């Protein structure tokens, strides 16, 4: 039986959290994980949705998933999608689930008129880098991701000049 690739629903919140937990364990970041089922329901399915999830399911078991974020290319003047997280259970890797999840994500991107599908890959994850490159993703050697953490965000926000209230 081929796995079903489907859009997640609010009822999948526990499975989505479990997938992200398994990904965090794989990447060595479990201690930083704060995601809960309530957060998934609020941010993935509520008003002002911030992400969407596709799941790979076989015989009722969730074997993998991809979390997608909407983006926009100011240069192309078109929407884009970002693969924020892709995870397939270790026991079922090499069965085409990752490829099927990404093909479904690409199908969504094409239907929405997106100009591209972006992904960030950890430098040490050679298997993931080969996987993405094998599907046609190109490494952007001149682009280095930069991040401002919560504390840094607060420090920078404190420098904001608030415009005066209208009289």
The Cα–Cα gap between 156 and 14 comes to 34
For residue 55, the surrounding DSSP H or E stretch is strand 52-58
* Reduced DSSP (H G I as helix, E B as strand, rest coil) percent helix, strand, coil of the chain, to 5: 40, 25, 40
- Cα separation, 45 vs 53, in Å, equals 10
Radius of gyration of the chain (CA): 18
Burial class (CB in 10 A: 0-12, 13-18, 19+), 105: buried
**Closest listed residue to residue 14, CA positions, set 46, 53, 51, 47:** 53
pLDDT per residue as tens, the chain (167 positions) = 677 999 999 999 999 999 999 999 998 888 889 999 999 999 999 889 999 999 999 999 999 999 999 999 999 999 999 999 999 999 999 899 999 999 999 999 999 999 999 998 888 889 999 989 999 999 898 888 888 888 998 999 889 887 667 77
Q: Where are the beta strands (DSSP E) in 74-116?
A: 78-88
Bridge partners of residue 57, in order along the sequence: 4, 62
77 CB-near residues (< 8 Å, 6+ apart)? none
Q: Strand, coil or helix: what is 131?
A: helix
| Interatomic CA distance for residues 113 and 131, integer angstroms | 25
* pTM of structure: 0.88
* CB 78 within 8 Å of CB 115: yes
Over residues 113-157, the pLDDT tens digits come to 999 999 988 888 899 999 899 999 998 988 888 888 889 989 998
Strands 78-88 and 61-73: antiparallel
Strand order in the sheet with 52-58: 4-7, 52-58, 61-73, 78-88, 117-119
CATH architecture of residue range(s) 4-157:
3-Layer(aba) Sandwich (3.40)
Q: Where are the domains of the chain?
A: 4-157
């Amino acid at each position: 039986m081929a796995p079903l690739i489907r859009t997640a629903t609010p009822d999948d919140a526990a499975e989505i959290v479990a997938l992200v937990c398994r990904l965090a364990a794989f990447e060595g970041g479990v201690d930083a994980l704060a995601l809960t089922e309530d957060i998934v329901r609020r941010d993935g399915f509520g008003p002002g949705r911030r992400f969407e999830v596709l799941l790979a399911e076989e015989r009722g078991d969730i074997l993998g998933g991809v979390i997608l974020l909407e983006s926009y290319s100011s240069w192309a003047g078109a929407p884009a999608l970002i693969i924020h997280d892709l995870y397939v259970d270790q026991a079922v890797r090499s069965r085409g689930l990752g490829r099927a999840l990404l093909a479904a994500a690409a199908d969504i991107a094409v239907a929405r008129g997106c100009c591209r599908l972006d992904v960030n890959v950890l430098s040490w994850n050679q298997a993931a880098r080969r996987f993405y490159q094998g599907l046609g993703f190109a490494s952007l050697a001149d682009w280095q991701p930069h991040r401002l953490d919560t504390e840094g965000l607060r420090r920078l926000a404190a420098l904001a000049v608030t415009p005066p209230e209208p009289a």
